[in-house]
A and B are shown apart, each in its own frame.
Chain A
Amino acid sequence: DAGITQSPRHKVTETGTPVTLRCHQTENHRYMYWYRQDPGHGLRLIHYSYGVKDTDKGEVSDGYSVSRSKTEDFLLTLESATSSQTSVYFCAISASTGGYTFGSGTRLTVV
């Protein structure tokens, strides 16, 4: 998607290992979000950021941490991956007008 990229696109990791997902934007938007998508649950907010070094928790933040040291990068870290964190992770960005632009997602499998 234009202006927002997620990496990696796919990852398989072992239980107990740390994992970091990256979201990079070129739109200079203030707001960035991490969601996970699971069947039957839709999109659930993990963490979000409203500026450099300003982050807050979403509804499913346990087991996740984030960092935003630059406007363009928002990192999501799974401190010790568990099988319940197998999911598709989406990053989104927004300016102040409400509409989100989503990345293409990262499919994470924890074995």
Chain B
Amino acid sequence: QQQVKQSPQSLIVQKGGISIINCAYENTAFDYFPWYQQFPGKGPALLIAIRPDVSEKKEGRFTISFNKSAKQFSLHIMDSQPGDSATYFCAANQGGSEKLVFGKGTKLTVNP
């Protein structure tokens, strides 16, 4: 069973635009929500993460928005650049030592 549903599967954005990727989860015990960025031929790398005690976390052009009541969280990439073209995975887990559950990924293409 898929515990984290990610959408869209693919996304094409123009340079300078806003990229938005959404994830929904089922397990209300989840308390850690990271996003990973993966470039072709590389392993996923932690981009940004949030815990449910805050509704938003911003790091540079990347923002996580978290809606606990809706059990949803999203990644916003402001002023998207061609260098942001990659596959993005959302994930969630319960407690620091539990294994992460991953969404299926979103392939983002930013056109120049």
Contact = CB atoms under 8 A, between A and B. Distances in A.
Tell whether A pairs with B.
yes
Interface of A: 1, 30-31, 33, 40-43, 45, 48, 50, 58, 90, 92, 95-105
Contacts, number: 56
Q: For the complex, would chain A's binding face be called helix, strand, loop or mixed by DSSP majority?
A: loop
Nearest to B97: A96
B45 interface: yes
A31 B97 contact: yes
Contacts of B102: 42-43
Q: B interface, by DSSP: helix, strand, loop or mixed?
A: loop
A98 B43 CA distance: 17
B100 interface: yes
Interface residues of B, number: 22
Interface string B71-98: 0000000000000000001000101110
A33 B43 contact: no
A103 B43 contact: yes
A99 B46 contact: yes
A91 to B, nearest CB: 8
Interface of B: 6, 32, 34, 36, 41-46, 49, 89, 93, 95-97, 99-100, 102-105
Contacts of A90: 43-44
A78 B64 CA distance: 38
Nearest to B44: A102
Nearest to B92: A98
B34 A99 contact: yes
Given A42-B89, A42-B102, A43-B102, A98 B42 contact: no
Given A42-B102, A43-B89, A102 B43 contact: yes
Nearest to B107: A39
B27 to A, nearest CB: 15
